[in-house]
A and B are shown apart, each in its own frame.
Chain A
Amino acid sequence: MLTLIGRRLALGILTLLVVSVIIFAGTEILPGDVATAILGQSATPENTAAIREQLGLNRPPYERYFEWLVGFVQGDLGTSLGNRRPIAPQVGFRFENTMLLAAMAACIAVPLSIGLGLVSAIKQGTIFDRAISVVSLMAISVPEFFIGYVLILFISVKLGWLPSLSNVNERMDFGQRITVMALPAITLTMVTLAHMMRMTRAAVISVMNSPYIEMAELKGVKYWRIVIQHALPNVLSPIITVVVLNLAYLVVGVVVVEVVFTYPGMGQFMVDSVSKRDVPVVQATGLIFAMTYVLLNMTADISSILANPRLRHPK
């Protein structure tokens, strides 16, 4: 099993490298040219050449890639083209904000979706179950901004319960922050809830239909004991996987939600930089997002290896 985990870790690191290459290459080998992109209408051969010189674009790409990667690993994310300041300090605060928002959404979504999934699996086929199934199918397909604006309109504008804009800053205390972040967190929760819930339900149902559950029934074991002692250890692995995969999704969904609520997170920063064509910032934030995603996926795989009794207790 250790070799399996080791192999997965190695694969994870390899993936990270490949991902960094793709992101770097995405901005380098595509037919667009960064220098002209920055200058837009005002591009003349002279100032284009100047920008190229300034960005070091005349050196071979692999050289710049390694420089970029080494800098990245050491915490040097490069310099923004927009305001000519180093990127790292600008990202730091925003990264923290994004993680906080994602964590808050996860804290609500994970227990809620597992709970609802369990209940709807146990009440399989009832009206409750069917209603939940249709509603969750809808929730999966609705865009984040729709949920966001509906919440703003009703909860914040009509009812006045929570603020509609989430412009957090360092001076706010924890309580204030939570209040301001509530709506985006709820939006994110609703977006991820449905998927997690449906997968939990499916996992529990498939385990509850297995012959060893029937065997436990025929041994006269009490129903709640069957669920906790026989079903749970076997659904744990699929549920953990689903949860972590959704956390990975959450990190991405955060981009749109941050824009809806003008939340000063990394997603908004990235979107701004894309429209300003601030390529170094896009590269840096893109890689951070991608890294988080890759790491979470790796965690999902490793935890499912750990939860598998066949692998935990080899022959």
Chain B
Amino acid sequence: MTTINSETARYIKPSKTLMVRRFLAEMPVVAWVGLIIILINLFVVAFAGVLAPYSETELVTDVWAPPNPDNWLGGDQLGRDMLTRILYGARTTISIAFIATILSFTMGIVAGFTAAVVGGIIDTLLSRIVDALMAIPTLILALVVISVLGTEIYVLIGVIAVLDSTRVFRLSRAIAMDVAVMEYVEAARLRGERLWWIMTREVLPNTVMPLIAEFGLRFAFAFLFIASLSFLGLGIQPPLADWGGMVRENATAIIYGIAAPLYPAAAIAALAVAVNLVVDYILARQNRSVAAAFDGTG
């Protein structure tokens, strides 16, 4: 390898912000709406204490008071400010769901990639365990476990994380196996690259987008799941404000024509929908780039 004149040797590496900018520029309106809702929720999680007009447990108005200038969303079943409760509830519900998702993701990806790369008995064993757990509806299995372990927060997080990680396991195993048979991975193996290099440089970058999408889906699932459990009275316990529990506590208002339980329920629905809208865009983009890659072959 001899040197050549340095004029041709100069080139500039474009920055990664370009890709982010293109990602945002091509985003359809619905996905934007979703992204904005998610950002608002994150903001609320961070600053609930600052934003809330009252304290979490303070009785400030009448039971199920209608919305008024002092209490924008009215009062709850004890006369606490509904808006304040929803802001604090965001913090509880979203952070629990988030921690559970991070846990399930870590477990699922580690187990899934290991199963795919190592193969053999470990793969079979892990896969059969996951099959067995997935043969039972998640909610039912969670109820069975909760009936014995109770509704401590760490129990809830643990149960959701374990049950959810089965799905992450399946996906990450499948993705890793797909990528592992690609010829560019074979090329790296033929070059003599180590397993670590292949995993981090060749496999992982190509699994990032589907995994981000899956993270969104899993988060939406964990979030809905914890909300449902709380709604059933088997999740987060009062006096902590959480959205699912608030729906339950205010449920009887509905038969008097009072919309109180709908506010927290709508907050749950909005965040779940928002996540799905963004994930849908990521997945559609993924499919398009795959299609484009195949168009190139002619």
Q: By the criterion CB–CB under 8 Å, are A290 and B234 in contact?
A: no
A274 to B148, CA, bound (A): 8
Q: By the criterion CB–CB under 8 Å, are B272 and A142 in contact?
A: yes
Whether A289 contacts B280 in the complex (CB less than 8 A), given A145-B228, A152-B255, A259-B232, comes out as no
Residues on B with C-beta less than 8 A from A165 are 255
Contact with A along B42-73 (1 / 0, CB 8 A): 00000000000000000000000000000000
Q: By the criterion CB–CB under 8 Å, are A19 and B137 in contact?
A: no
Residues on A with C-beta less than 8 A from B266 are 146
A138 beta carbon closer than 8 Å to chain B: yes
Q: By the criterion CB–CB under 8 Å, are A143 and B265 in contact?
A: yes
A212 to B269, CA, bound (A): 42
Among A20-28, A48-56, A84-92, A119-127, the one that faces the other chain is A20-28
Q: By the criterion CB–CB under 8 Å, are A145 and B231 in contact?
A: yes
Q: By the criterion CB–CB under 8 Å, are A32 and B136 in contact?
A: no
Residues on B with C-beta less than 8 A from A26 are 141, 144-145, 148
Q: By the criterion CB–CB under 8 Å, are A19 and B136 in contact?
A: yes
A188 to chain B, nearest CB (A): 14
Task: Given A30-B145, A142-B272, A150-B262, output 10 extra A-B contacts at Cβ < 8 Å.
Answer: A137-B277, A138-B276, A140-B276, A141-B276, A146-B265, A157-B257, A164-B255, A252-B137, A252-B140, A278-B147
Q: By the criterion CB–CB under 8 Å, are A137 and B148 in contact?
A: no
Q: By the criterion CB–CB under 8 Å, are B254 and A152 in contact?
A: yes
A282 to B140, CA, bound (A): 9
A134 to B280, CA, bound (A): 10
A270 to B265, CA, bound (A): 23
List B residues 139-179 near A (Cβ within 8 Å): 139-141, 143-150
Residues on A with C-beta less than 8 A from B137 are 248-249, 251-252, 289-290, 293
Name the CB-closest residue of B to A256. Answer: B228
Name the CB-closest residue of A to B225. Answer: A143
Q: By the criterion CB–CB under 8 Å, are A274 and B234 in contact?
A: yes
Q: Give 9 nearest A-B pairs by CB, closest first.
A: A146-B265, A141-B272, A32-B148, A252-B137, A141-B276, A282-B147, A142-B269, A274-B147, A32-B149
A259 to B234, CA, bound (A): 12
Which listed residue, A32, A249, A294, touches B135 by the CB 8 Å rule?
A: A294
Residues on A with C-beta less than 8 A from B79 are none
Whether A137 contacts B255 in the complex (CB less than 8 A), given A18-B135, A143-B269, comes out as no
Residues on B with C-beta less than 8 A from A137 are 273, 276-277, 280
Q: By the criterion CB–CB under 8 Å, are A271 and B234 in contact?
A: yes
Whether A256 contacts B272 in the complex (CB less than 8 A), given A27-B148, A157-B255, comes out as no
Q: By the criterion CB–CB under 8 Å, are A270 and B143 in contact?
A: yes
B226 to chain A, nearest CB (A): 11
A21 to chain B, nearest CB (A): 9
Interface contacts (Cβ under 8 Å), in number, total 150
Q: By the criterion CB–CB under 8 Å, are A146 and B262 in contact?
A: yes
Residues on B with C-beta less than 8 A from A277 are 147-148
Name the CB-closest residue of B to A142. Answer: B269
B112 beta carbon closer than 8 Å to chain A: no
- The B interface, classified by DSSP as helix, strand, loop or mixed, is helix
A31 beta carbon closer than 8 Å to chain B: yes
Which listed residue, B141, B148, B257, touches A22 by the CB 8 Å rule?
A: B141
List B residues 243-277 near A (Cβ within 8 Å): 247, 251, 254-257, 259, 261-262, 265-266, 268-269, 272-273, 275-277
Q: By the criterion CB–CB under 8 Å, are A153 and B265 in contact?
A: no
Contact with B along A122-160 (1 / 0, CB 8 A): 000000000000100110111111100110110001100
A283 beta carbon closer than 8 Å to chain B: yes
Name the CB-closest residue of A to B132. Answer: A18
A15 beta carbon closer than 8 Å to chain B: yes
A248 to B172, CA, bound (A): 25
Residues on A with C-beta less than 8 A from B96 are none
Which listed residue, A27, A32, A149, touches B150 by the CB 8 Å rule?
A: A32
Contact with B along A262-300 (1 / 0, CB 8 A): 000000001101110111001100100110011001000
Q: By the criterion CB–CB under 8 Å, are B143 and A282 in contact?
A: yes
A255 beta carbon closer than 8 Å to chain B: yes
Which listed residue, B138, B147, B234, touches A279 by the CB 8 Å rule?
A: B147
Residues on B with C-beta less than 8 A from A30 are 145, 148-149
B220 beta carbon closer than 8 Å to chain A: yes
A280 to chain B, nearest CB (A): 10
Name the CB-closest residue of B to A255. Answer: B139
A234 to chain B, nearest CB (A): 22
Q: Can you show 21 pairs from A to B with CB atoms below 8 A apart?
A: A19-B135, A19-B136, A22-B132, A27-B147, A137-B277, A143-B268, A145-B231, A146-B262, A164-B254, A251-B137, A252-B138, A255-B139, A255-B140, A259-B232, A271-B234, A274-B234, A275-B233, A283-B144, A293-B136, A293-B137, A294-B136
Which listed residue, B146, B150, B228, B257, touches A143 by the CB 8 Å rule?
A: B228
A37 beta carbon closer than 8 Å to chain B: yes
Q: By the criterion CB–CB under 8 Å, are B257 and A142 in contact?
A: no
Contact with A along B185-207 (1 / 0, CB 8 A): 00000000000000000000000
Residues on B with C-beta less than 8 A from A278 are 147
Name the CB-closest residue of B to A252. Answer: B137
Q: By the criterion CB–CB under 8 Å, are A290 and B146 in contact?
A: no
A203 beta carbon closer than 8 Å to chain B: no
